[in-house]
Amino acid sequence: MTSIENIKRRCEANAKSHGYFLTPDPEFLQNLFEGLKENEERYGYGACPCRLASGNFEWDRDIICPCDYRDADIEEFGQCYCALYVNKDVFDGIKPMEPIPERRPQAKVDQAMGKTTKSISTSSETAETSDTNRKLYYCKICGYVAFREEAPLKCPICQAKQEMFGEIVFNIGIKAR
């Protein structure tokens, strides 16, 4: 079982490795760690402690912490949706922490919420098939490659925007004489 200590260490290392900070309020931080631990125990993965997860891995994938939206939110607002991860200005109190808009597309929220009333068997089938929707995307600037349903909002290596991603297509030709 994952301990709070483990989660704390993982979040700290992840923040540092991306140039971020953890929220400066120690009590709030402890609550977020506990939320992550609860989700890990309940779902088997650390879904975002500030959003409602469906329990279906495929449908929650974008909100597994650090979520798909974190880097774009930190760039725009100085903090992620939860304010677990913040930038230096928010950490230093120069910029106030405040509620930010939900960047997760409504369609994903609806899918996840609809899902909670469906049977497990359906969900497994969906989980199975949805992996086939992944494509190989590459960053046109640094060449970073990711296998996802959509290109990431930001390149984790060079911070390029989503528009800078292209799809890798394999052309296999057969020539007949």
Binding residues vs its own copies (CB under 8 A): 6, 9-10, 12-20, 45, 57, 61, 64, 66, 68, 74-76, 78, 87-89, 131, 134, 136-138, 140-148, 152, 156-160, 164, 166, 168, 170, 172
Residue partners of 93: CB distance under 8 A and separation at least 6: 24
**In the complex, least distance from residue 14 CB atom to its own copies, rounded to whole angstroms:** 6
Closest among 51, 24, 20 to 35, alpha carbons compared: 51
**In the complex, least distance from residue 8 CB atom to its own copies, rounded to whole angstroms:** 10
Residue 96: strand, helix, or coil: coil
Q: Please name the residue that has the structure tokens 């106030």.
A: 96
Whole-angstrom Cα distance, residue 133 to residue 148? 8
Closer to its own copies by CB, 18 or 31: give it: 18
**In the complex, least distance from residue 168 CB atom to its own copies, rounded to whole angstroms:** 6
Closer to its own copies by CB, 72 or 117: give it: 72
Closer to its own copies by CB, 28 or 138: give it: 138
**In the complex, least distance from residue 38 CB atom to its own copies, rounded to whole angstroms:** 18
- In the DSSP assignment, the letter for residue 79 is B
Closer to its own copies by CB, 13 or 117: give it: 13
Question: Cα angle at 18 between 70 and 140, to 5 degrees?
Answer: 80
Whole-angstrom Cα distance, residue 147 to residue 127? 16
**In the complex, least distance from residue 117 CB atom to its own copies, rounded to whole angstroms:** 24
